[in-house]
Structure formats: structure tokens, C-alpha cells
Amino acid sequence: MGTAPSTPPPPPAAPHTPPRLPAAPVAPVPGPWAQTTAVFWQGHRQALPGPLLGAAALVGTAGGAVLVDTEAGLGLTLVGLGVLACGAGVLRRPGRRADRALLGLAALLLVVATVRDAEWVVALSVLAAVGTTAVALTGARTAAAAVLAVPVAALGTLRAALAVRHSVGDLAGRRRQALRAGLRTAAVTVLLLGVFGALLASADAVFAALLPRADLGLLPARAVVGVLVGLVALAAGHLVLAPPSWPTTQASPPRRTTGEWLVPVAALDGLLVVFGLVQVATAVGCRAFVERTAGLTYAEHARSGFFQLVAVTALTLVVVAVAAHRAPRASARDRLVSRAALGLLCVATLGVVAVAVQRMTLYVDAFGLTRLRLLVLVAEGALAVVLVLVLAAGVRWRGAWLPRAAVAVVAGAVLSLGLLDADALVLRYDARADAPLDPAYLQDLSDDAVVAADALPEPLRTCLLTAAARARDLDAAGRTLTTTDDGWAAWNLGRARAAEVLGDLPAGGAGAACRRLLGGGS
């Protein structure tokens, strides 16, 4: 009997392999700026002290009372200084000397609203004060932080509003009885002052003139402005208690090789140097070349292009900032090449600034000085100072102080408009220049120019003052035709001096003499 063939054993089963699951997504690590924003926003849990809440409420009440339906003047300055006072805690912190200087500049800029009447100067001063204060209170140290200081301060206002909610709730829970007593005291005080003040005001007109006027139609606007001003004052103090934690180390972009960044910078150096040589050639007498190549007379060429040159100056600062950030600095040779290329760029740009100032000066000599032309000259001067500071920082390649110094330069440039008495300077220059007068433009200047007109020789003095009086609803004797009294909050030195000058204006106009002198404008 045969044996059945043996069947081979089955192969061992393959080990069970579990199915692969997709990897869980890894949350991206937030960058330093995202972390800064998150940490800053968490500051709304920071308790606000009672004195800060009271001071902010006082400043907000004052802002609602004096900033609505009132010309810029003493009231605006006092409210602004009140906001600065709420953030004055930064003055007591060590290592904040530069921030103290910036706050001092901001205070001087706010005083301009009391001293000068020119609305454009006051507006620029207030904006510069806001930016300078934001840089000081947020402790901005880098260029990026200085640029973001105002948005961060605005975010701080929203953060302060949330902090008020928590702080008032905690304060009310701990001191409920004291809070009720304070509210009763305030209500009784307001009632007594309202009743007795109304009776005394109706009994004496002089006393009534000293009291603020109550206009129920403006009450909603005053409430909104008061709340906003109070929040801004609260945010100023809150920024001192919980300042933003700016990134101390920025993510460095990849360093470029020397040739990769040097070629474009050197090309720009060469372009600006050639431009400077062309300006020197035209200045020493190559007028025929200018007329033949540009199709312009020498005077037309000399007075053209200054706005483009201002743009070149500003863009150069951007190029220098980017190039300095990306240029290799590993070796002494790299640092030397970087200093040479960027230093030449700054020096060549200073030449562009000189050309722009010269062209603007020629333009002013031909057509007179205006607010815009004066502003361009001041801006070019500020850019030139910043370029010099950049050169100084590049000597040792240490520029931690540069961003705040640049902010101070810009604030100082705006402050110089108030110190120079811009509108009065425009009037004095145009009255003594060879360019024909523009009576409509001169009449549109602010009350600051009235005092300057009073110092001009006759008959130009009387002509300009008479035109100013008519433009301000005054008769020939300086009497007001439409009476408006905004009280002490609208007091302004420029307007007060102008009213004194126009009040002494003799009756009658200058007639035909003024029409000939001003080209029919009087």
C-alpha cells in the first residue's frame, strides 16, 4: 500500500500590520509678533487702580465739555496734557530717559494749539504728539515697533475698555458701601451746583459768562467724545502698567552674499553720483546744454522736480534700512564693504537733498512762499537730519537708538512749524519778495498772520489788515459783525493778538490804493 504524498505545511501567516493613520496636524508655532500681540491682549486682566480710573474719568469729562463745538485752543491743550499725565508713570521707570524726552516733546506739541491759530499747524502738531506719545508709552525700540506703536496704542484703547469692566466689577464687589456713598455724594453735589448755579447766573450776567453753556442738542456728541477721551487717557495709564513686550530678537532674514546685495546698491550709488555731477555741471554754467537737452530754460529747469527729489530721499532711507538688515556682517571685510556702499548712498542722497532745497528756494523766489512749500522745506530738513543720524549709526554699526531719535527729529520738525509761526512767516516773506502778491491766498491765512501784517510798512499794512478784517466778519473799525464766544476753552494767543490788532484798525478802508497794490483784491 503506497504512502500518500505529504503536503507541505502552510506558510506562516504574515504579521498583522495595523493601518497607517494620517499624522495629526502640527500646530504652527506662532511667530514673535503673534506672541507679542497675544501677550499684550492678555493685559486686559491687569487690574486698574482706582486713582487711574478717577483721573481718566475726570479727563474724559473735561474732554466732552471743552472739545465739542469749540475752536482749538487752551481746552485742547489741557485735555491733551491730562492724557499725558495719566501715562506719566513711565517717567518714574529706570532706563526710560529717551521716553521721557519724547513725552516732553509731545507736551510741547500740544501747547501749539494754545499758541498758534493756523489749523494745519495745530493738526500736524496733534498728530505728531499722538505718534510721539505712542512710541514713548509702548517702549518701542526698533523701527518696526516704532511704526506699529500707534496701532498698538489704538488696540490698547480697546484693551483698556475690557480692563475697566473687570476693574469696576472687582472694585464694586470689594467696596460696595463706599461706592454707593460716593454716588450719593456726587448726585447731591451736582444737584446743588445746578440749582444754585442757575440762580446765580440769572442774577448776574458777568458770572453767567464764566459758566459753561449747556446745549442739550450737543449732549450726545459731548457724551461720545467724553467716553473716547476717557478711554484714551485710561489706555495711556494702562500701557504703563501692562506695556507690550516687543520681540527682543527678530527673525533674521537670510543673509545675502556680498555680490547679491552690493550690485543693486552700488548701481544706485552710481546713479545718484551721476545725478549729482549733472547738477554741478549745470550750476557752473552749462545753461546751453540744459536748454538743448531738456528743452527748458535754465530757470524752468532749476525750479522743477523738487517733489520727485523728496520722494528719492524718502525711498533711499527705505533702501538703506533693508540693505543694512540683509547685508552680510560675518567678517571685517563684509562690514567694511557694507559701510562704504551704504555710506556713499547716504552721502549722495544728502546731495539730492541739497539740490531739492536749492530748487525749492528758487521756486519760492520766483512765485512766493506758501504753506505747502514751507512744509516741503521742513520735511527735507528732517530727512537730511535722519540721514546724518544713519551715517552716525553706521560708523560702529550700532543703531538701537536710531528709531527713537528719528521719531524725535520728525516731532521736532513739526514743532518748528509752530516755533517759526508758519503763517506769519509766509506773509512776511511774500510781502517783501519780488514776486507778485496773491491777495486771495494771503487773506486765507490764519490769525497768526494778522500780527505779522501789523508790522509791515504802509500802505501794505492797512490794506492787508482791512482785507483780513473783512474776511473775519469785522467792520472797518474792527467791530465784530457776528459775535461768537466759545469761552476760555477756545482761548488762543494768536487769535487774541489778532483781535487786538484789528480792534485798533482805523475806520475806513484804503480804497483805490489797496486795489492797485493788491491787484483788486481789497
Residues 423 and 448 sit within 8 Å (Cβ to Cβ): yes
Residues 273 and 348 sit within 8 Å (Cβ to Cβ): yes
d(CA 104, CA 100): 6
Residue 12 DSSP SS3 = coil
| Nearest alpha carbon to residue 69 among 224, 193, 183, 175 | 224
| Nearest alpha carbon to residue 303 among 277, 282, 323, 332 | 282
Residue 172, amino acid: A
Q: What is the pLDDT along the chain (522 residues), one digit of tens a residue?
A: 555 555 666 666 555 566 665 555 555 555 565 666 666 666 667 777 778 888 888 999 899 888 888 888 999 999 999 999 998 876 777 777 888 899 999 999 999 999 999 999 999 999 999 999 999 998 888 888 888 899 988 988 888 888 877 666 665 555 666 667 777 787 788 788 878 888 887 887 777 776 666 666 777 888 899 899 999 999 998 888 888 887 765 545 555 566 677 888 889 989 989 988 887 777 665 555 555 555 555 556 555 677 888 888 889 888 888 888 777 777 788 788 888 888 899 999 999 898 888 888 888 888 888 899 899 999 999 999 999 999 888 887 777 888 999 999 999 999 999 999 999 999 999 888 777 777 778 778 888 888 888 888 877 788 888 877 777 665 444 445 444 556 788 899 999 998 888 877 766 555 666 666 665 544
Please report the pLDDT score of residue 478 as a whole number.
Answer: 46
Please report the pLDDT score of residue 355 as a whole number.
Answer: 86
Please report the pLDDT score of residue 430 as a whole number.
Answer: 86
Q: Please spell the DSSP secondary structure of 56-101, one letter per residue.
A: HHHHHHHHHHHSTT--SSHHHHHHHHHHHHHTGGGGGSTT-HHHHH
Please report the pLDDT score of residue 7 as a whole number.
Answer: 64
- In terms of pTM, does the model score above 0.85? no
d(CA 259, CA 262): 5
Domain boundaries, the chain: 39-178+213-241, 270-420, 425-517
Residue 20 DSSP SS3 = coil
Residues in the chain: 522
Q: Long-range contacts of range 358-364, CB-CB < 8 Å, 24 or more positions apart? A: 358/302, 359/302, 359/303, 359/304, 359/305, 359/306, 359/309, 360/306, 362/299, 362/302, 362/303, 363/303, 363/306, 364/429, 364/433
Please report the pLDDT score of residue 389 as a whole number.
Answer: 92
d(CA 126, CA 112): 9
CB-based burial of residue 197 (10 Å sphere; 0-12 exposed, 13-18 middle, 19+ buried)? Answer: middle
- Please, what is the Cα angle at 372 between 369 and 377, to 5 degrees? 75
CB within 8 Å of 241: residues ≥ 6 apart? 43, 46, 48, 52, 89
Please report the pLDDT score of residue 201 as a whole number.
Answer: 79
